[in-house]
Structure 1
Amino acid sequence: MQTHKERYLWLFSRKLSGEILEEERQELETLVRTNPQLRKEGEALQAFWGQRGGHSDDDDTRSAFEKLKARMHATDPQMWPEQDAGAGGVKWWMLMVRMAAALIFFVAAWHIMVATGLVPGKEDGLRSEYNIRGTRSHIKLADGTSVWLNSDSELKYPLRFKGNKREVYLKGEAFFDVAKDASKPFLVYTEAMTINVLGTSFNIKAYPNDSTSETTLITGEVEVALKNKSEKKIRLRPAEKLVITNGMDSVKSLVPKAEPVIIKPTYSLKEDSAIIETAWVDNKLIFQDESFDHLASRMERWYNVSIRFENTAIQQLRFTGIFTKEPLSQALEALQLTEQFNFRIADDTVIIY
Structure 2
Amino acid sequence: MRAYNFNAGPAAIPLPVLERAQKELVNFNNTGMSVMELSHRSKDYEEVHNRANSLLRELLGIPDNYEVLFLQGGASLQFTMIPMNFLKSGQTGHFITTGSWSEKALKEAKTFGETRILASSKEDNYTHIPTNYSLNDVENGAYLHITSNNTIFGTQWKEYPQSPIPLIADMSSDILCTEIDVEKFDLIYAGAQKNLGPSGVTVVIVKKEFLETAKEDVPTILKYSTHSKNNSLYNTPPTFAIYMLSLVLEWVKEQGGVKQIQKINEEKAGYIYSAIDESNGFYKGHAEKNSRSLMNITFTLQNEELTKKFLQEAKERQFIGLAGHRSVGGCRASTYNAVPKEACEALAKFMTEFKNQNS
TM-score of the two chains, using structure 2 as the length reference: 0.27
Higher helix proportion, which one?
Answer: 2
Q: Answer 1 or 2: higher relative contact order, Cα 8 Å, separation at least 6.
A: 2
Higher strand proportion, which one?
Answer: 1
